[in-house]
Amino acid sequence: MIRFFRIAAFSIIFIFIITNQVFAQSSYVLPYPSSMPGGFAYKLHLVYEKISKYWYFGSLGQFEYNLKMADKYLVEAKTLFDYKQYLLGVKSLEKSSSYFNQTLPSLRKSEAEGKSVSQKRIILSEAALKHIEYLEEIDFDTPDVFIWEPEKSSPISLPLKKILINAINIRKDNQ
């Protein structure tokens, strides 16, 4: 009887593992979020980011730097959107889009210099798919428009849907 239960339990676990579906579109992995806006460590990260830009010299180095920063700010934006910090999230998303927008020109420049960029193009394509996946998750849980009302000034309307669609289109255009 005990042997029957062991076999049944093993069979159920085995079937669960085999039939488990994976919904990821890309094998590209985004980084874990680092420090977030508002803290002292975040200011240090911004300084480090400015300095590290010069460490990534050359067109391929700039590609890697821009993609790394696009990833970092996308994860930061998603975290901020999850916590309904939409104003800060929009700023992070705009930074991410700006960096992502610079990746393809860096690859084209490398290609013009005679460098092989086929692997980098694959990485960029996978990154774009992963970014789009994240942006669609954000879009699903976010209102179309958010009115941010600061204490001592007039309200600001954030067209979140429009901003997210723009970010998705930037990723699609730079694949």
d(CA 10, CA 92): 46
Asked whether residue 147 is domain-assigned, the answer is yes
Please state the domain count of the chain.
1
What does the DSSP assignment read for 39-100? SHHHHHHHHHHHHHTTTS-SHHHHHHHHHHHHHHHHHHHHHHHHTT-HHHHHHHHHHHHHHH
The pLDDT assigned to 32 comes to 80
Asked whether residue 70 is domain-assigned, the answer is yes
Q: What SS3 class is residue 107?
A: helix
Share above pLDDT 90 across residues of the chain, in percent, rounded to a whole number:
61
Asked whether residue 25 is domain-assigned, the answer is no
pLDDT digits 0-9 by tens, 117-128: 999 999 999 999
d(CA 131, CA 135): 6
Asked whether residue 12 is domain-assigned, the answer is no
- Region for 116 from its dihedrals, namely left if φ exceeds 0, alpha if ψ lies in -120 to 50, beta otherwise: beta
Asked whether residue 55 is domain-assigned, the answer is yes
Domain region containing 123: 30-173
Query: Across the strands, what pairs with 102?
Result: none
Asked whether residue 19 is domain-assigned, the answer is no
pLDDT digits 0-9 by tens, 92-119: 999 999 999 999 999 999 999 999 999 9
pLDDT digits 0-9 by tens, 27-47: 788 888 778 888 888 888 889
Q: Is the pLDDT of residue 22 over 60?
A: no
